[in-house]
A and B are shown apart, each in its own frame.
Chain A
Amino acid sequence: MADYQVHEHDVLVIGAGGAGLRAAIEASAAGVSVGLVCKSLLGKAHTVMAEGGLAAALGNVDDRDDWSTHFADTMRGGQYVNNWRMAQLHAQQAPERARELEAWGAVFDRTKDQKILQRNFGGHKYPRLAHVGDRTGLEMIRTLQDHGVHLGIDVHMEHTIVELIQHGDRVVGAFGYDREKGNFRLFKAGAVILATGGIGRAFKITSNSWEYTGDGHSLAYRAGADLIDMEYVQFHPTGMVWPPSVRGILVTEGVRGEGGVLRNSEKKRFMFDDIPDLYKSSTADNEEEGWQYTQGDKDSRRPPELLTRDHVARCIVREIKAGRGSPHGGVFLDIAWIKERLPNGEDHIKKKLPSMYHQFKELAGIDITNQPMEVGPTTHYVMGGIRVDGDSQMSTVPGLFAAGECAAGLHGANRLGGNSLSDLLVFGKLAGENAAKFAKDNALSFGKEQEEQADAARRKALAPIERQDQGGDGPYQIQFELQDKMQELVGIVRNQDDLDKGVETVLAMKERAKTVTAPGNRQYNPGWHTALDLDNLLTVSEAIARAAAERHESRGAHFREDYTAKDEQWGKTTLVVKKGADGEMTLTKEAVRTMPDDLQKIIEENK
């Protein structure tokens, strides 16, 4: 007997962050019925936390900017293993998506001539990030949410999807439960869009919330989709390090964009010590030039604090390891010093970085207009994810689409700040459009066999509660241990021994997780929810560890102390993770697609 409620939509969107909302809006505009599911309340997804801004070559601050420069910056940042088609579409369409947001009610900071203001960010050649102070994500998610609620989208909030339902290969729905009562739900759908975000909870120190357990990655993997680039996990250079309970919480790159500098315990601006060749010609070699750049001087080059995130994170690790760190194991990030240069410095800081001011004041008792912050790297973003077709956003499984952080390709080996919010809009829209088309073109077929899949998913979901008296580990125990091990063995600086151990550890934990228990009943039970998310967390952890162990070079966010250089052959190789016929995870190498000449030319021109 099926004890679940059934819903039917033409398009089901899983995830209500920027990508999911934008996809739902687009699908709805195409005239199909749309369901939107999310684990938290509407408007609380990760997107709400984004601070710095959204990258789009509007050219409002520097009219030399255009899509081709944005494209070249994104490719350089990603170390040229990006899906170039996505990088191209992203750069071309981001300006239109940003302007459309304004038409839906978003309010961005302005230039003197009353256009959308843009700020500097790491790896972007020109000021490119549209923003409102340091709460751009809130502005974006609220705008999409408020626009979306008037379109007749069915929102199922505080619902978690645990399995995709398939007819042959094709995805025809999803199965999940509502968090309040723990009742099950079957969603039949002509097409499904995954927009579930990232995997940060696989690591101990992270800027990510409980939601980031790699659900979409894992759902797609179990349905037979390819995952690519899983070795590339972005460690953001500046997370809070003190007090311990806030360790990992993000300190926006906007602090450095506004002139903030990094110093070690000897008060030295250590970022000048190591500037990578790829960026030598575009980086300032003295403090004065760097400062002028942050103040909008077009002839100055950027300060080294605004080099790409992977590089800045490693320089910070180097300083800490060399004993030149701050008292609580980080380095110093100083924005207060700009008071020496700006007469109204204090107000300027409060105005441009209000939530940073607030965050440090209230959580660490530090006034950033007077004192430096202590910061260190934190797990922030996953470049790897579900492989999609650049134009349609369909995964390698028919009827299954992906957009936003859970999809891969755009960012290659390292994402530039600000390129995520624009990613959500550009590819959310394309996913919504193409999923709607797919649902219209392909009639839904749902029968007995699909109901059996739903039943199996229900039994699997209930197991941790049913065996609560059988003495297996609790969910938090396994989760904490996994986070510790991933941080230690598969973190910022990697080597073969650790990575091999990492794979073994994850496999052993997978065994233990088979008997995980969740005391209590199905009613709003976080222990049970954590137990169910564990499976996903283990799947993505295994994929990350395996891919990282295989890639014998350093590239972007993937840094190997035993292979510190880039390797030409590896630079042409993508690692693909897929579920094998026997259920084991397989890892294969594939050649990176060669870029067409016109795009290659743009890259050369921007070198």
Chain B
Amino acid sequence: MASVTFKIWRGDKDGGSFADYQTDITEGMVVLDAVHQIQAESASDLACRWNCKAGKCGSCSAEVNGMPKLMCMTRMEDLPTDQPITIEPIHAFPIMKDLVTDVSWNYEVKKRIKKFKPRSPDAADGTWRIAQEDVDRVQEFRKCIECFLCQDVCHVLRDHHKHEEFIGPRFFVYAAALDMHPLDTENRLEDLKDEGGIGFCNITKCCTTVCPEHITITDNAIIPLKERVVDEFYDPIKKLAKIFTGK
């Protein structure tokens, strides 16, 4: 058992600062355990979100020693505990209190994305036939736990605050999940180009690096979507065809 110092950001939208806490760390503990222990020992009003404690719900996002992480999946053993560990809220969204941020913008963005629209059923009993390969292909995107860590690191949101014009990597993943859904028939490309601001993404891949679900956001979701947008709107032959067919 070793006593470790934590510097945890305390405050609200009007400002705040780091406060020091000491707590004992035992074998196998994760950062979220340390935060809970601090809550129980010395700061019962320290705000943080969590639910599953197993990387399944995406609630406990924070920046640990400057790295965007799920606190419940960050083991103390992997951190240098001879120095203070800093924990602060994610930066891309407004602070509510301490480690809790206002992520409601994400829920609003999702509402604006056109919903799933299936083709008509394949069988008389109203069911569909889908090949397992098609399921596997889309599963990668459907694994997303909405932790918003990718939104946190994307410079378009974090540094340039383009929340009005850019939906962020999480929603490119969502759009890709719908786009590659074996049953979906909706076209969302124009929206991705205009409201989605997919053009702002300059493929830095920071989002992919932090995704706790190991979704290859940039290569598998964003780049194919960008290519489809280009095909649809900037391909000269298609453009001509459009003029003639009126489609």
Contact = CB atoms under 8 A, between A and B. Distances in A.
Contact of A246 (B47, B53, B181): B53
B47 A135 contact: no
B100 interface: yes
B58 A359 contact: no
Contacts of A49: 51-52, 54, 56-57
Contacts of B73: 362-363
Interface stretch (A38-46, A314-322, A390-398, A449-457): A38-46
Interface string A145-159: 011011000010100
B145 A138 contact: yes
Contact of B75 (A102, A113, A362, A523): A362
Most buried by B among A45, A49, A114, A242: A114
Interface string A584-600: 00000000000000000
A526 B45 contact: yes
B96 interface: yes
Contacts of A561: none
B97 interface: yes
Nearest to A477: B40
Contacts of A250: 54
Contacts of B47: 523-526
A351 B54 CA distance: 18
Interface string A16-44: 00000000000000000000000011111
B111 interface: yes
Given A138-B143, A209-B52, A527-B39, A102 B58 contact: no
Interface in A124-175: 132-133, 135, 138-139, 142, 146-147, 149-150, 155, 157
Given A139-B142, A527-B39, A99 B126 contact: yes
Contacts of B48: 526
Interface string B177-219: 0100111100000000000000000000000000000000000
B54 A246 contact: yes
A530 B58 CA distance: 21
Interface stretch (A74-82, A268-276, A513-521): A513-521
B132 A519 contact: no
B67 to A, nearest CB: 15
B143 A210 contact: no
A146 B130 contact: no
B181 to A, nearest CB: 7
Interface in A230-261: 242-246, 249-250
B44 A524 contact: no
B227 interface: no
Contacts of A40: 49, 51, 57, 59
A211 interface: yes
Interface string A516-560: 001111011111101000000000000000000000000000000
Interface stretch (B25-33, B161-169, B229-237): B25-33
Contact of B44 (A149, A155, A362, A526): A526
Interface in A89-123: 99, 102-105, 107-110, 113-117
A149 B110 contact: yes
Most buried by A among B12, B73, B115, B131: B115
B220 to A, nearest CB: 16
Nearest to B128: A102
B19 to A, nearest CB: 13
B4 interface: no
A41 B58 CA distance: 10
Contacts of B129: 113-115
Contact of A114 (B30, B51, B131): B131
Q: Indicate the size class of the contact surface on chain B.
A: 35 or more
Contacts of A45: 51
Contacts of A102: 127-128
Contacts of A99: 126-127
A15 to B, nearest CB: 14
A10 to B, nearest CB: 22
Given A138-B143, A244-B27, A524 B97 contact: yes
B46 interface: yes
A444 interface: no
A86 B118 CA distance: 32
Nearest to B127: A99
A49 B139 CA distance: 17
A381 to B, nearest CB: 15
B97 A523 contact: yes
Contacts of B40: 476, 480
B7 to A, nearest CB: 19
A507 interface: no
Nearest to A531: B44
Interface string B131-162: 11001001100110110000000000000000
A48 interface: yes
Given A41-B49, A149-B110, A246-B53, A107 B138 contact: yes
A48 B55 contact: no
A99 B45 CA distance: 45
Contacts of A528: 45
Interface string B46-79: 1111111111111100000000000001010000
Nearest to B39: A526
Interface string B101-139: 011100100110001101001000011111110010011
B88 interface: no
A108 B135 contact: yes
A99 B73 CA distance: 34
Contacts of A150: 111, 115
A297 interface: no
A363 B75 contact: yes
Contacts of A530: 44
A364 B29 CA distance: 10
B130 A107 contact: yes
Given A110-B131, A142-B142, A242-B28, 6 more contacts: A40-B57, A107-B181, A150-B115, A211-B51, A249-B53, A524-B47
12 contacts: A40-B57, A41-B103, A49-B54, A107-B142, A110-B131, A110-B135, A149-B111, A209-B52, A362-B73, A363-B30, A527-B39, A527-B44
Interface of B: 12, 26-30, 33, 39-40, 44-59, 73, 75, 96-98, 100, 102-104, 107, 110-111, 115-116, 118, 121, 126-132, 135, 138-139, 142-143, 145-146, 178, 181-184
Q: Which 5 A-B pairs have the closest CB atoms?
A: A243-B28, A527-B44, A520-B45, A114-B129, A105-B116
